[in-house]
Chains A and B, each alone.
Chain A
Amino acid sequence: METFGKEKEQGERILDYEKIVATSKFQQLIQKKRNFIVPIIIVFLITYFLLPILTGYTSILEHKAIGWITWTWLYSLGLFVMVWVFATMYVKKAETFDQLAEEIIEENIK
């Protein structure tokens, strides 16, 4: 991306962003991002808020799972694992977004 910043005539040119945004490739990028991000956000918000709902309104997580480690603790540690897994997945996936974004810049802004 750096190379584009160095182009000389860029300051003078006015880009038609609406046209670029309407291209099928850009729409594909947006769609791909949305398809990945939206389900994950929904899953993590539900999983996250389920904890205070379950502990606040029920006692089903209060049972012992392993010795005195109750399900409340296991669920919470599950949330930690979830954060790490989703974050790692996103970084892997985002590399494909970067590639697509770079192609779009290359095709539309020379």
Chain B
Amino acid sequence: MSVPAFILFLIILLVTLYITYWAAKRTKTANEFYTAGGGLTGWQNGLAIAGDYLSAASFLGIAGAIALNGFDGFYYSIGYLTAYLFVLFIVAEPLRNLGKYTLADMINSRFSERKVRATAALSSITIVIFYMIAQLVGAGALIKLLLGIEYWIAVLIVGVMMTIYVLFGGMTATSWVQIIKAVLLMAGTVIISFLVLLKFNFNIVGMFNEMSQATPHGENYLHSGIVFKNPLDLLSMMLALVLGTAGLPHILMRFFTVKDAQTARASVVNATWVVGIFYVMTIFLGFGAAKFVGSETIIAENPAGNMAAPLLAKALGGDFLMSFVSAVAFATILAVVAGLVLSGASAFAHDIYGQIIKKGKATERQQVLAARWASVGVAAFSILLALGAQSLNVAFLVSLAFCVAASANLPVIVYTIYWKKFNTAGAVTAMLAGLITAIVLVSISPNVIHPEAGKAFFVGDPIFPLTNPALISVPAGFIGGLIGTLVSAKRDEKKYAEVTFKANTGYKEAEM
């Protein structure tokens, strides 16, 4: 490892540890632990949402995907950004108005039965675990490449750091790590984009003209279809991306860190600008890497293209810029996994322990203690799984997480807010139908069974042809909720009136 890289990594570790120390003094109650006391501003939370959302998969993954596959890599940028309209219009404000710490809180504001909360917690935990393993395994492989240390040491470093942030600093530390990371990531991306554009003399048309000849794909590089040969596969993935974001627990949790629905709204819009500008720049990162590094060199370092951005930084700005970009990638990984630990811990400690086992009667001290133990538990469990999963291809776990979020969480959110007849049975069947369909279909898809050896866990013809099952599993979630509701005769229009009133006005009873 080079000296500047080592120093930059060390600076990131020290700054984030100092933030955690500072945040720890402000983290005494459960509310402070889960929501930073609800005291973030629209800009702070907007940046933190962006920090949560722009994972290593976004930064390194999309840059690599565009570098290697041209326009087909850009689909991810389009889907991830457009998803924010859904979050803004449908989810953010009612969630802030009805919930306290978790998605289950919001659903439970209408259906107070414990089985509803348990199911909601189960789907949140499933999503968090899938997402986390993908991030940790990716992180281990990446840091191994960047720093030249062993995979297991890399996973342990990331794992221990994320545990420290969450355990001591709760949401305050996590949020500020995300904010710093978002600023660093934007700065790094702007610098590289500027250098790429400089090389093309700031001539965008000229850049596209050159790119039509610059890669082994030739003109096809600028067209859709290099990866997504089956249009149904493409549609299914686009569906998972646009609906999945609105069901991701670690994103939803961010709406509880602001004081009201207005601030939640402002933070989504701010995040939309930050994330959107970032995704436009992924074009320059991808094109730059394809042109100035070349696909052969990128693939030689990492077949998935994850090293495209750091290699581009090296080609344009030498070792120092590469070290800076690597450090940014490291900060990115730390921020995202910390957010995941926190949302997983909230499902365990708040939903399962606090509300189901203790029936909402846990003392403040018990709640904080449970939250801390749950954080350690979630972190340790994920680290163990990640250590065992080194040689597995886990990239599909991120799309599976989006798919479960879109299939299990989104239908129940929409029904809870907008459907008068929706009831307890419907809530449970909607979540289970989406969750089970998504998991079963993925386990018989080309992600798991692939005709070519080495591409998946088993060799053979996949039973389900699509890589991403959203096209089937999202309707399954909606239909599941519909059937469950119609089969059970229970209706509670009084409760729906209350939920509608609160969701639309932000009114809360005094005891909240």
Contact residue range for chain B? Answer: 35 or more
B81 on the A face (CB < 8 A): yes
Given the known interface contacts A11-B511, A18-B494, A53-B235, the answer about A48 and B209 at a Cβ–Cβ threshold of 8 Å is: no
Contact, CB under 8 Å: A67 / B242: no
Kindly state the interface size class of chain A when it binds its partner: 35 or more
B487 within 8 A of A: no
Known A21-B497, A56-B235; contact A5-B510, beta-carbon cutoff 8 A: yes
Which residues from A are CB-within-8-Å of B242?
Answer: 45, 48
CA distance A13 to B504 in the complex (A): 20
CA distance A62 to B239 in the complex (A): 22
- The minimal Cβ–Cβ distance linking A92 to chain B, given in whole angstroms, is 11
Whether the pair A68, B494 counts as a contact (CB closer than 8 A) is: no
Are A10's CB and B276's CB within 8 A? no
Determine which of B85, B212, B498 lies in contact with A17 in the assembled complex, contact meaning CB atoms within 8 Å. Answer: B498
Closest Cβ neighbor of A6 among chain B residues: B510
A-contacting residues, B182-217, CB 8 Å: 204-206, 208-209, 211-212
Contact of A109 among B225, B228, B506, B507 (CB under 8 A): B507
B82 within 8 A of A: yes
Interface of A is mostly: helix
Q: How many interface contacts (CB-CB < 8 Å) are there between A and B?
A: 150
Measured CA separation A1–B506 after assembly (Å): 8
**Known A7-B510, A68-B211, A83-B81: A56·B231 in contact at CB below 8 Å:** yes
Name which of B29-37, B71-79, B321-329, B347-355 contacts chain A.
B71-79
Tell whether, in the assembled complex, residue B82 and residue A67 are in contact, meaning their CB atoms are under 8 Å apart. Answer: no
Does B302 interact with chain A (Cβ within 8 Å)? no
The reply to whether A29 and B510 form a contact with Cβ atoms under 8 Å apart is no
**Chain A 31-83 interface residues, beta-carbon cutoff 8 Å to B:** 33, 37, 40-41, 44-45, 48-49, 51-53, 55-57, 59, 61-62, 66-70, 72-73, 76-77, 79-80, 83
Q: A10-B510, A87-B268 are in contact. Are A68 and B222 (CB under 8 A)?
A: yes
| Cα(A1)–Cα(B261), bound, Å | 11
A76 touches which of B74, B86, B505, B510 (Cβ 8 Å): B74
Give the residue of A1, A44, A66, A69 whose beta carbon is less than 8 angstroms from that of B507: A1
B319: Cβ under 8 A from any A Cβ: no
Known: A56-B228, A90-B89, A91-B269. A10 touches B208 (CB 8 A): no
How does the 8 Å CB contact mask read for B48-90 relative to A, with 1 for contact and 0 for none? 0000000000000000000000010011001001101110111
Bound CA–CA A102/B505 (angstroms): 7
Say how far A43's CB is from chain B's closest CB, in angstroms.
10
Chain B at the A interface: mostly helix, strand, loop or mixed? helix
Contact B494 A80 (CB under 8 A): no
| Chain A residues with CB below 8 A from B273, complex form | 84
Which residues 287-332 of B sit at the A interface, judged by CB distance below 8 A? none
Most chain A beta carbons < 10 A, residue from B212, B242, B510: B510
**Could you say which of B89, B209, B235, B276 contacts A80, with CB atoms under 8 Å apart?**
B276
Q: Are A48 and B238 in contact (CB under 8 A)?
A: yes
Q: Which residues of B contact A88 (CB under 8 A)?
A: 269
CB distance from A78 to the nearest CB of B (A): 10
Complexed CA–CA distance, A102 and B507 (Å): 9
Q: A83-B272, A87-B84, A105-B507 are in contact. Are A56 and B224 (CB under 8 A)?
A: yes
Alpha-carbon gap, A103 to B89, bound state (A): 22
**A37 and B89 contact, CB distance less than 8 A:** yes
What 1/0 mask marks residues of chain A from 85 to 104 whose CB sits below 8 Å from any chain B CB?
01110110010011001101
A101/B506 in contact, CB under 8 A: yes
> With A68-B211, A76-B78, A87-B272 known to touch, is A101 a contact of B238 (CB < 8 Å)?
no
Q: How far is the CB of A44 from chain B (nearest CB, A)?
A: 5
B82-A53 in contact (CB<8A)? no
Which residue on chain B has the smallest CB distance to residue A102? Answer: B505
With a CB–CB cut-off of 8 A, which chain B residues contact A40? 85, 89
Is B235's CB under 8 angstroms from A52's CB? yes
Q: Which residues of B contact A83 (CB under 8 A)?
A: 81-82, 84-85, 272, 276
Closest to A56 in B: B231
A67 adjacent to B507 (CB under 8 Å): no
Q: Mark B491-507, 1 if CB is under 8 A from A, else 0.
A: 00110011011001111
> Please, could you name 27 A-B residue pairs with CB atoms under 8 Å apart, sorted by A?
A17-B497, A17-B501, A20-B501, A30-B504, A41-B86, A45-B242, A48-B82, A48-B238, A51-B78, A52-B235, A52-B238, A55-B223, A55-B224, A55-B225, A56-B224, A56-B228, A68-B222, A72-B222, A73-B208, A76-B74, A80-B279, A83-B84, A83-B276, A90-B88, A91-B269, A94-B265, A105-B507
Closest 8 CB pairs of A and B: A56-B231, A55-B224, A67-B205, A68-B208, A10-B510, A101-B505, A17-B498, A17-B497
Task: Please give 11 more A-B residue pairs, beta carbons under 8 A apart, in addition to A45-B242, A83-B82, A90-B265.
Answer: A5-B512, A10-B509, A17-B494, A18-B493, A40-B85, A44-B85, A52-B228, A69-B205, A69-B208, A80-B78, A91-B266
